[in-house]
Amino acid sequence: MFVIGAGLPRTATLTQKIALEQLGFGPCYHMVEVLGDLSRAEQWREALEGDSNWDKVLPGYKATVDWPGAFFYQELMEAFPEAKVLLSVRDGEAWERSMGETIWGIFYGDTVARHLSDARALVDEGWASYMSLMKEMWVKSGLMTSEVDEPGTGSMARAMERYNEEVKASVPPERLLVWNPADGWGPLCEFLEVPVPVTPLPHVNDSKSFGVMLSDAALRALNTWRDSQDFSTLAAHP
């Protein structure tokens, strides 16, 4: 492990994954690995309960960004003492707004995406376990403890700022880069001691694409469940 991403979700972490892999620090673990294989959530559940085996959870990975990895950045720092730590940041109000449109909205919002997620959890045990894990991690982090932390109140923005200050205080300065994707390749490449690519820094995963991704996955799961059901008895009793 060469790079430990401590930045929170919705701080351009998918951009970071692609960028790090482009710089040679791949494969890079990101939440998309869990979403692509929900059985991985059980490994993170074990880690959350204090039984972590990082060689098993992150086999062959050279970097990790986004959650679940960022939640465990301190444990990963101890496990990989030579790894550098990347703290991605953004404006607090913008982050809170993005959370409201995505993660908070999936947990607590009155949106189609939230209700599709809830419906999927009823028919997909893997998704139910994943959502339970994610909600517990957010609560334990103190960043989003309940629906009370509604976007627009400033609660999540303040919590994010506290989190960022905690990272800065706990990571030795020589191991840490505080980086906004708007800073571009320069500071990141200097920190990692690699050449600056000639191509622009990638930009992916805005709030709209997040909603589309989760909604499409929920609809596929619900259609699979529907196809497995026998509705003939319903037709027999109008």
Identify the residue whose tokens are 């913008």: 94
What is the rounded average pLDDT for all residues in the chain?
Answer: 89
Question: To 10 degrees, the CA torsion angle through 186, 187, 190, 196?
Answer: -20
C-alpha span between 96 and 89 (Å, rounded):
12
Report pLDDT digits (tens) over 123-170. 999 999 999 999 999 888 888 776 666 777 888 899 999 999 999 999
User: Residue 137: CB partners within 8 Å, gap ≥ 6?
Assistant: 48, 67, 68, 71
First to last CA, the chain: 61
- Give the H or E element holding residue 29: strand 28-29
Binned at pLDDT 50, 70 and 90, residue 17 comes out as very high
Crossing angle of the two packed helices 41-48 and 125-141, in degrees rounded to 10: 30
State yes or no: pLDDT of 112 exceeds 90. Answer: no
The whole-number average pLDDT for the span 9-19 is 92
Q: Where are the domains of the chain?
A: 3-227
- Give the H or E element holding residue 179: strand 176-179
Q: For residues 155 and 212, which has the higher predicted lDDT (pLDDT)?
A: 155
Q: Is 68 left (phi over 0), alpha (psi -120 to 50) or beta?
A: alpha
Tell me the β-bridge partners of 177.
86
Residue 73 · residue 47 · CB < 8 Å: no
Residue 143 · residue 157 · CB < 8 Å: no
At residue 205, the pLDDT reads 65
Residue 9 · residue 103 · CB < 8 Å: yes
Q: Domain 3-227 has what CATH class?
A: alpha beta
Six token digits for residue 124: 């997909």
Specify the pTM. 0.87
Report pLDDT digits (tens) over 27-59. 999 999 999 899 999 999 999 998 888 988 999
Report pLDDT digits (tens) over 164-202. 999 999 999 999 999 999 999 999 999 999 999 999 998
Cis peptide before 27 (omega within 30 of 0): yes
